[in-house]
Structure 1
Amino acid sequence: MLSVNRALDQRPESPSLVVVTTILQLGLVVMVWLLALVPAALAALTLLLVKAACGAFRPSKVKGPIAP
């Protein structure tokens, strides 16, 4: 068993394989973050728009003309 581990340790890694694996791992991390953040951002934006719309359609509390 020890000789198998030594053989694996001595085998050189392919630089292109390392680059491709790193890019795939980084892409997976970015996708997971986006899948987690996008729904939360959409929920916050929806809540903000609903509150703004409710405030825009609420009757004004100002009575009569505004004095200069």
Structure 2
Amino acid sequence: MPAIVGIVQVINIASSAVMNIGDVLNLSPISSAKTFSGAGSFNTGEAISNLNSVSSTNVYDTDGIDQPIAFNI
């Protein structure tokens, strides 16, 4: 079923971002990254209280490839 999309104003798109408007068969990333962070690392706001007294981030990764992007154009 076709999508009907109204007016769209795009201000900024990052260099590795994917933008989708309407129907899409396949979205293929051209870059990938892995981020390790502890509990409460990406919280934003004015008054944040994190109670993470016993917390650790496991960064040990045994697999070599998480998201292959070899054949994406």
TM norm. shorter chain > 0.5? no
Bigger Cα Rg: 1
TM-score by length of 1: 0.21
More helix by share: 1
Higher relative contact order (CA 8 A, sep 6+): 2
TM-score by length of 2: 0.20
